[in-house]
Structure 1
Amino acid sequence: MLIKLEVLEKIKSGEITLQFRRWRRRTVKPGGTLKTKVGVLQIGDITPITADEVTEADAKRAGFKDVPDFLKWLDTMKPGELDRIEVSYKGESA
């Protein structure tokens, strides 16, 4: 799961606690971790979701201004299943 540095910094600070990914095959699993440029992320619940189910609160937790901003981003993504992924900063890489 590739995440832009700007987003990683916001996850580290706690400003972003949710990510959305559309993919053919999941590359992370609930309870797992992900090593990144800013340290290790903890992966929480992963929920399959449709774009219609994304709430205003979800969009903001993922760093978007609102749902239309999220949908604009989603239109740039490759086709695939959409997942709602809880994320948090776990700590520095070992």
Structure 2
Amino acid sequence: MRINSVEEQQQEEEEEEEEKEDSKAFFILNEIILVLKDAKEESRKEAYDVLINISSSLRSISPVGSVAPCQKLINMVRYSSLWDIFA
């Protein structure tokens, strides 16, 4: 049995916290996607606006030249059920 160093434990805790945040983000994203499938045009427009605002916010808080947060959002959308809309 191996004893983890303090640094390894901190890294594991950070990874667990990131996974929790990602799962919350996926939940919210899936709720937005459900609204995109709504019959009401106004609801769909609001959902698209939310996605655009999220993207804009990520760009504004990201360091210059960094695409990581926006790329993460794109990947989350890609791997979510959004593609079912276009299938």
TM range (shorter): under 0.3
Greater share of residues in strand: 1
Greater share of residues in helix: 2
